[in-house]
Structure 1
Amino acid sequence: MKGIVLSGGSGTRLYPMTRAANKQLLPIYNKPMVYYPLSTLMLAGCRQILLVVNPQDEEAYRRLFGDGRQWGLEISYAVQPRPGGIAEVFLIGREFVGGDRVGLILGDNLFYGDSLPAVAERGARGPGAVIYAYWVSDPSAYGVIELDADERPVSIVEKPRQPHSNWAVTGLYFYDGDVCDVAAGLTRSARGELEITDINAHYMRVGRLTVEKLGRGYAWLDTGTPSSLLRAAQFVETVESRQGLQIGSPEEVAWRKGYIDNAGLERLIQPIRESEYGKYLQGLLARG
């Protein structure tokens, strides 16, 4: 299974923090932001990962992830020269997708929930397009999806003034191998971007769009502003301190999914053995 993490963008809402580092390299509590979406794709079964990054940030991502083999992944990189819309990743990554099913996640989205692995795997294996909807109090700030009485999607509108529902489209998507052709046929919006809403609307029109609703047992956090970044850090700190379990740990996901064995996890632990993160991973091995 293939997956794409979109980690570009200008990060203007997080200025001046993003003068020093790309938004997705900023920390959410004890890990870089990008760890959280990457681990979500890993939970879905994605092992071939394309990171779409800004030109000036590619080297920083390569230092952080390398080729991914330490986690049993194959990580490659592509550059988005300037913000051109979420859907543009399917033009940039067309060779990577190559007609296969692919997952896409936004690099500033954090998902949490006990059943998240199963829900993500359904999307990875499902037909057509699968998107995820989350109930929000202010839907006008998001792409909004309207469902009929049979839970079938009937409309998708980006940031509507008068929303027809409270179900916001999150930043996690799965598509069949036609998605690159669909993206290539789009017209750029008034802001000069290829809109992911237009891809989803296409799949809806042809009857190949499935919507997975993330209910009260899930958290979806968009970390694009200083306040939302702080709330995400507080959320992660609260859950991890209370449960003693990490959120968004690629090392743990890789080990539990069987992408790496005990020896592979031990090699990852060695250089960070004295850190809190390293001690947590040591505890995983000790408990088996």
Structure 2
Amino acid sequence: MKALVLSGGSGTRLRPITHTSAKQLVPVANKPVLMYGLESIADAGITDVGIVVGTTSREIVEAVGDGSDFGLTVTYIRQPEPLGLAHAVLIARDFLGDDDFVMYLGDNFIVGGIVPIVKEFEANRPDAQILLTRVSDPKSFGVAELDEHGKVLRLEEKPQSPRSDLALVGVYIFTARVHTAVRRIQPSGRGELEITDAIQWLVDNDCAVQATPISGYWKDTGNVADMLEVNRLVLETLPGGLAGRIDAESEIVGRVTVSAGAEISGSRIVGPVIIGAGVRIVNSYIGPFTSIAEDCRIVDSEIEFSIILRGSSIEGVRRIESSLIGRNVEVTPSPRAPRAHRFVLGDHSRVQISSDHG
């Protein structure tokens, strides 16, 4: 079995972060989302991986390399435009050959990995295996309609009038039969070759399509709220560890990871929290479910339930919460003072905000 990982796309829902960074490389607990997917694939015993890349290909290649860090052999497949998931299968034909394969969306996150899913496929070997989970907003997803016995009847991509609340999770497993399906379908109204249409072709042509309800936790990390939620979930699983320098005036509460090279002085850190290498935290409060990437500087500030990317500086800020702050951002006080602030800041931003410290 092979794996096809989709890492193209423009990441419009995470702008402005993704104006300058691949959405699959936005970190959760200081590790890019894509890396969790690659680890899941390796854990399932799959070693031959094709990664479909687009305009952010340079970043993806730099981050993943040849895949050896994950025990994988990686082949990069260029998709000139984001023309749909089925189009990605179409252009990966030479790489995939006639092998069974897992298709994994690189910005998706599944707690517990895909080992049980792969084993189930290998035991039954349908032409397609799809994963389903109930969602509150099915209009935003591919949606499956099942009969009373759980058989797949119909699939639609982002329907205006969903027939169910069963959304397709961003992991699929196929036999080579899907290559016929992706050649037979036509572009949708969005101008894309939809994988839902390809699976519908398999259903209509009496192929075996198996639907599996997902028992673990799944998120499409395409927006800020989901990124923060996944970050919270991952931080809850980390054991903590204090490798950096922490002075006697600082207080560490709960599971906190302080990387080697980080320095904390006069501050209170309440976990779960992860603090990257080269971070300096001075006279500040870092609250639960916060990830601070390497080389950040936090001074006289309060931060909680947030993700701060590499090289950012936050000084004199009364309160930041539920925020995603990009790389090399500077946040400083200005004269007025609402007590809490919510941000989605792009890379290299420069912001003045109100603060009691101003």
TM-score (norm 2): 0.64
Whether the 8 Å contact between 2:133 and 2:214 is mirrored in structure 1 is yes
Matches of 1:194 and 1:163, distance apart in 2 = 20
- List alignment gaps of at least 5 residues for structure 2: 242-258, 263-273, 277-358
Match status 1:232 vs 2:230: yes
Matches of 2:260 and 2:74, distance apart in 1 = 25
- Between 1:13-22 and 1:140-149, the stretch displaced more is 140-149
Matches of 1:71 and 1:27, distance apart in 2 = 17
Matches of 1:64 and 1:84, distance apart in 2 = 24
2:99 match: secondary structure = coil
Whether the 8 Å contact between 1:101 and 1:124 is mirrored in structure 2 is no
| Deviation of the 1:39 alpha carbon | 2.2
Matches of 1:120 and 1:173, distance apart in 2 = 10
Matches of 1:105 and 1:203, distance apart in 2 = 19
| Deviation of the 1:51 alpha carbon | 0.6
- 1:90 match: 89
- List alignment gaps of at least 5 residues for structure 1: 245-271, 279-288
Matches of 1:124 and 1:15, distance apart in 2 = 39
- 1:101 match: 100
Matches of 1:165 and 1:274, distance apart in 2 = 51
Whether the 8 Å contact between 1:145 and 1:156 is mirrored in structure 2 is yes
1:142-221 correspondence to structure 2 within 5 Å: 142-205=141-204, 206-215=206-215, 218-221=216-219
Q: What residue identity is the alignment partner of 1:173?
A: Y
1:1-288 correspondence to structure 2 within 5 Å: 1-55=1-55, 57-113=56-112, 116-123=114-121, 126-205=125-204, 206-215=206-215, 218-241=216-239
Whether the 8 Å contact between 2:86 and 2:193 is mirrored in structure 1 is yes
Question: Which protein shows a greater Rg?
Answer: 2
Whether the 8 Å contact between 1:124 and 1:174 is mirrored in structure 2 is no
Whether the 8 Å contact between 1:11 and 1:18 is mirrored in structure 2 is yes
Q: What residue identity is the alignment partner of 2:54?
A: N
Q: What residue identity is the alignment partner of 1:175?
A: F
- Between 1:193-202 and 1:30-39, the stretch displaced more is 30-39
Q: What residue identity is the alignment partner of 2:195?
A: I
| Deviation of the 1:128 alpha carbon | 0.8
Matches of 1:191 and 1:173, distance apart in 2 = 21
Q: What residue identity is the alignment partner of 1:30?
A: N
Q: What residue identity is the alignment partner of 2:59?
A: A
**Which structure has the higher relative contact order (CA within 8 Å, separation 6+)?**
1
Whether the 8 Å contact between 1:43 and 1:120 is mirrored in structure 2 is no
Whether the 8 Å contact between 2:134 and 2:166 is mirrored in structure 1 is yes
Whether the 8 Å contact between 2:41 and 2:114 is mirrored in structure 1 is no
- Between 1:219-228 and 1:124-133, the stretch displaced more is 124-133
Whether the 8 Å contact between 2:181 and 2:199 is mirrored in structure 1 is no
Whether the 8 Å contact between 2:48 and 2:73 is mirrored in structure 1 is yes
Matches of 2:177 and 2:71, distance apart in 1 = 27
- 1:268 match: none
| Deviation of the 1:195 alpha carbon | 0.3
Considering fraction of residues, name the structure with more helix. 1
- 2:294 match: none
Q: What residue identity is the alignment partner of 2:35?
A: Y
Give per-residue Cα distances to partners, 1:105-136, cap 9 Å, x unaligned: 111110013x8422233235622100100111
Matches of 1:191 and 1:180, distance apart in 2 = 21
Given the superposition, is the C-alpha separation of residues 155 and 49 from structure 1 closer, same or farther in structure 2, using an over 3 Å criterion?
same
- 2:250 match: none
State the number of aligned residues: 246
Whether the 8 Å contact between 1:44 and 1:124 is mirrored in structure 2 is no
Whether the 8 Å contact between 2:39 and 2:70 is mirrored in structure 1 is no
Q: What residue identity is the alignment partner of 1:91?
A: L
Give per-residue Cα distances to partners, 1:214-247, cap 9 Å, x unaligned: 13xx1011110122111111121123259x9xxx
Matches of 1:92 and 1:207, distance apart in 2 = 22
Whether the 8 Å contact between 1:103 and 1:124 is mirrored in structure 2 is no
Q: What residue identity is the alignment partner of 1:122?
A: E
Q: What residue identity is the alignment partner of 1:129?
A: A
Whether the 8 Å contact between 1:45 and 1:121 is mirrored in structure 2 is no
2:176 match: secondary structure = coil
Matches of 2:98 and 2:7, distance apart in 1 = 22
Matches of 2:201 and 2:40, distance apart in 1 = 25
Whether the 8 Å contact between 2:8 and 2:57 is mirrored in structure 1 is no
Matches of 1:234 and 1:183, distance apart in 2 = 37
